[in-house]
Amino acid sequence: MTHATATEHRYGRTLIKAAVTGIVLVALLGLAGCSKGPGEASAEVELSQAIREAIAKKRAPKPQPLQISRALLDQLGQPHIEVTVESHDLTGYLGLVLTRQDDFPGEITVWRSSDNNSLAFRNGMLIASRGLGGNLLSARVPAQNGIAGPASDGARSYQLRTGDNAAGQIDLACELRDLGAEQLKIIGRSYATRHIQEYCEGAPQDGRPTVVVNDYWVDSRRDKVWKSRQWAGPEIGYLRIRDLSS
């Protein structure tokens, strides 16, 4: 297995994780149902063992993210992005599989893990996700040829999966905020960027105001978004994304 495949497989494997407490609860209920009659003493021993195992799992240290070096990235021969799902505190890596143009402004890039979790961007702005839960089916973003990140204020919309074969749309009005120049460091490289923030508001959902704030660290000289924090829908929440390319 190559380095790229190993890291991508790790990402796909950890994005959707069963709750340990739920598994333990089912095991304990099964053991309790068997603790009757002549085998009662044995069942009590098994129950105690299950409890000890459950406690040990809770105390076990959380797996540490894979440590990526610039030397490793230089060996891969394929651009990668680092993606952190904030709501789960999980980090993984996706490789570039497609770059193309369509009838709309901006360049589309698609990044994918070995088990087909994927993200698509237009000029560095997230427009689709697959395999993350509550998929972002598509998004209309303020793209313009030759400008990385959002090109202007204005309307933005998200098409989101809301159930089996069902979709819903969230419409937002956005304004851009220039938060100034920032020197950005990503795994041994330094980039001069501007921090651009996209502040968006929409109609209330479930009685609560809809507010989405996307952040982009843009290198205008190379027409690239090196780092961003973008909303992927109400179920998955925000993704922190870093471009690990040279």
DSSP 120-174: EEETTEEEEEESSSS-EEEEE---BTTB-S--SSEEEEEEEEEETTEEEEEEEEE
pLDDT at 42 (0 to 100): 57
CA 13 to chain centre: 13
Same domain membership, residue 218 and residue 124? yes
**Are the C-beta atoms of residues 196 and 177 closer than 8 Å to each other?**
yes
Position 71, amino acid: A
DSSP state at residue 37: G
Residue 35 is assigned to a structural domain of this protein: yes
Region of residue 88 (phi > 0: left; psi between -120 and 50: alpha; otherwise: beta): alpha
**Residue 1 domain-assigned (yes or no):** no
CATH of the domain at 114: 2.40.360.10
- pLDDT tens for the 246 residues of the chain, in order: 444 444 333 333 333 333 222 222 232 223 333 333 444 455 556 555 666 676 676 666 665 656 777 888 878 778 999 999 999 998 888 999 999 999 999 999 999 987 789 999 999 999 999 988 778 999 999 999 999 999 999 999 999 987 667 788 999 999 999 999 999 999 989 999 999 999 999 988 777 778 999 999 999 788 899 999 999 998 899 999 999 987
In this prediction, residue 57 carries a pLDDT of: 66
Identify the residue whose tokens are 């333990």.
Answer: 24
Tell me, yes or no, whether 84 and 43 share the same domain.
Answer: no
Give the integer Cα–Cα distance in Å for 229 and 125. 10
Considering the domain architecture, whether residues 84 and 111 belong to the same structural domain is answered as: yes
Within 10 angstroms of residue 73's Cβ, the number of other Cβ atoms is 22
Pairing type for strands 80-85 and 238-243 reads antiparallel
Which DSSP state fits 65? P
In the structure encoding, which two tokens stand for residue 113, read together? 């893990």
Co-location of 117 and 190 in the same domain: yes
Question: Which of 32, 59, 86 is the endpoint of a domain?
Answer: 59
Q: Looking at the structure, tell me whether residues 179 and 74 fall in a common domain.
A: yes
First to last CA, the chain: 23
Domain residues for the domain of 40 are 20-59
- pLDDT, residue 51, reads 60
Strand arrangement, sheet containing 125-130: 125-130, 118-122, 108-112, 90-100, 80-85, 238-243, 224-231, 208-219, 189-205, 166-186, 154-163, 136-140
Let me know whether 53 and 90 are in one domain. Answer: no
170 found inside a domain: yes
pLDDT value of residue 212: 96
Q: Residue 6 in 3-state DSSP?
A: helix
Helices (H), the chain: 3-15, 20-34, 40-59, 70-76
Bridge partners (DSSP) of residue 90 are 85
Does one domain contain both 46 and 145? no
The answer to whether residue 234 sits within a structural domain is: yes
**83 and 145 together in one domain:** yes
Name residues whose C-beta falls within 8 Å of residue 20's C-beta, 6 or more positions apart in sequence. 54, 57, 58
Asked if residue 117 and residue 54 are part of one domain, the reply reads no
Are 118 and 127 in contact by the 8 Å Cβ rule? The answer is no
Query: Does residue 14 lie in a domain region?
Result: no
